[in-house]
Amino acid sequence: MKITRRQFLKRACSLGSMGLVASYPICIERYIVLTNRYRVSVPNLPKAFSGFRIVQLSDLHYGFLMPLGIIRHVVEHANRLTLDLIVCTGDYVHERNSTTQIDQVWPVISQLSASSGVYSVLGNHDHWADTARSDYWLKRSQQDLRHKVVRLEREGQYLWLAGAGDLYEDHKKLDEVLDKIPDPECRIVLAHNPDSADTAFSKRIDLMISGHTHGGQVNIPFVGTPILPVKNKNYSSGLKVSPKGCKVFISKGIGWTICPIRFNCYPEIAVLELVSE
């Protein structure tokens, strides 16, 4: 059956539109990195730290379909933001059983800079690639907070940062890390996996900052996120409260895992402004 030129153009436009819609989650949204700002009230926050700004980078997943150019752009943009502190919560590479991507991405991550410092922990993919090499770069970059604590000071008041191990690969009881912090003082924990907030510990955590979930990568209106790689399905993205009453902030991250798509869940650089509760 012959078709007219008009019918041909209409069908071509329809097919083109369908192709664009189908390719959008793979080719477009995955590379639109937003800078999202959050105001987070933190219990026991010293007055001197009210308004303190933390930039969080998480789940870069440098590797297949996540080029180094995008990682450089994210790092450069984070450095240009008006901020006090940068924290990185793991999964910097995508590969397994190799140090190639680790040695390529960490010189870029090492360029992060903030007035109160840059502190990082590892995620499960960093261990799956190579634990020793990932730990080497943590130390070489001087960002190492893995199983450690650091004290920040402003006007004679203190804010403590603590680094948890990855829940799957090098979990250490949080009480052992938090024991190094005086009981009354405010403490923020970096933990790659937000399920760490549900592990056995008795010490107080005022805020946990995590990643790992990627926000589910797909957020279907009126349905939600079909796949979340955590036990506690409440831990999708944004600010949540654990069953223990601990506040947990979860970044949507930058890269991808399982499937290279994003739909209604843009990659993000998260900027957390701390305020007193």
The residue extents of the domains of the chain are 1-31, 33-276
Q: How many residues make up the chain in this entry?
A: 277
**What torsion do the CA atoms of 126, 132, 135, 140 make, to the nearest 10 degrees?**
-130
Least Cα distance to 66 among 271, 216, 257, 264 occurs for 257
Q: What amino acid is encoded at 259 in this protein?
A: C
Least Cα distance to 197 among 181, 216, 178 occurs for 178
Q: Is 57 helix (H, G, I), strand (E, B) or coil?
A: strand
Q: How confident is the model at residue 277, as a pLDDT?
A: 86
Cα 245 from Cα 226, distance rounded (Å): 25
Diameter over CA atoms, the chain: 84
Phi–psi pair at 41, nearest 5 degrees:
-80, 130
Topology (CATH) of 33-276: Purple Acid Phosphatase; chain A, domain 2 (3.60.21)
Q: What is the pTM of this model?
A: 0.92
Contact at 8 Å (CB) between 175 and 202?
yes
Q: Print pLDDT tens along the chain (277 aa).
A: 555 655 444 444 443 433 334 446 566 888 999 999 999 999 999 999 999 999 999 999 999 999 999 999 999 999 999 899 999 999 999 999 999 999 999 999 999 999 999 999 999 999 999 999 999 999 999 999 999 999 999 999 999 999 999 999 999 999 999 999 999 999 999 999 999 999 999 999 999 999 999 999 999 998 999 999 999 999 999 999 999 999 999 999 999 998 999 999 999 999 999 999 8
